[in-house]
Every structure is written in C-alpha cells, then in structure tokens.
Amino acid sequence: MSHINVEIKARCADIDFVRNYLLHQGAEFKGTDIQTDTYFNVENGRLKLREGNIENNLIYYKRVNLSGPRESQFQLLKIPEPLLLKEMLTQSIGVRVVIKKKREIYYIQNVKFHIDEVPGIGNFVEIEAGNLLADLNKMQLQEQCDFYLNELNIHQEDLVAESYSDMLLEKQGINEG
C-alpha cells in the first residue's frame, strides 16, 4: 500500500533551536539513529535500503525535486536482515550512492521530524507530515508542514529540493540523469 507524505528539507544553522522547540512542544523523542542509506540503480523513482540502530527499511519512493513542501509517494518494508538484502540488491542491480548520517527522530502526532548531520554535506531539518498514522488528506498534511515551517523559523532560502543522494553525487561531480 502506498502512503503520502508532505515533506520539506532545509539547511539548519541552529539544530539546538530546533531540538529545544520540539522538546518544549512535547515531541516524542524516538532516539538517535546512525543510518546508512544505500541507493540502488533503478529506472523509476528511488529505491534505498536504510540500515540503522532504530530503522531498518527498504524504501521505494517517487518525489519531484522541489524546494518547499512537496508530495512524496512511498512504500516501506521493514527488513529484519538488511545485510543479506543489501548483498542481493548490490549484486543484481548495483549501488548508485551511499549516504551516512546521524539522525535524531521526533514525533508530534503524525508529523515526523528529523535533525540530520550528514558528513560532507551539512546539518538539516526535515519535516514529514504523513497519512501513515492519521487519516488526513494532502491539504491537511500541507497545512501541518506550513505550520511547522513557520514555527521553526525556516526561510525560503533554507529550503532544499534535492535528496542527500543528489547532493552527494553533485559534490562528487556526478550528474543526475
């Protein structure tokens, strides 16, 4: 089954401000995950295997690269043995890029927040208003995202359109396409 997120990603110069805001709002802190996202070569959308101490998932998603709130359609499968799956996918379709990051995970109801430290790229905050935990339509999810953009004092120039994989590939001089 496919779910919908309305999500944003923004560069974050002050992760302490974001963390303090979330804690003062009673956000549920799920923990700090040290994640490795392995993106595989696929013709449509993106397929990544997330390995972490909290989350281990195979994620397929389609999303347009737009700065600001954008819709993402995704499918997520929990993976009990990520190393075996990674070996199988690597051998069969090949790896596009690997992203390593430190991610703090918070929830306020159905809205998931990430504070990410990505070596070589920088610090970011992500807001994902999703219908996985709540029966909300796209407009309601958009309103939640807009509310937290304002609350976290995120400005238009802070917004990032690209995924971490695109940013790293660009930094390495490898063009998307």
The mean predicted confidence, pLDDT, of the chain is: 90
What pLDDT sits at residue 67?
A: 62
Report DSSP letters for 57-92, one per residue: EEEEEEE---SSSEEEEEEEEE-S-HHHHHHHHHHH
What pLDDT sits at residue 5?
A: 82
- The residues spanned by each domain of the chain are 3-171
Give the number of C-alpha atoms closer than 13 A to the C-alpha of residue 120, restricted to the C-beta side: 13
Residues 6+ apart with CB under 8 A from 140: none
Sign of the Cα torsion 15, 104, 28, 107 reads positive
Percent of the chain with pLDDT over 90: 69
Per the CATH hierarchy, to which homologous superfamily does domain 3-171 belong? Hypothetical Protein Pfu-838710-001 (2.40.320.10)
Q: What is the pLDDT of residues 129-167, one digit of tens each?
A: 988 777 888 899 999 999 999 999 999 999 998 889 989
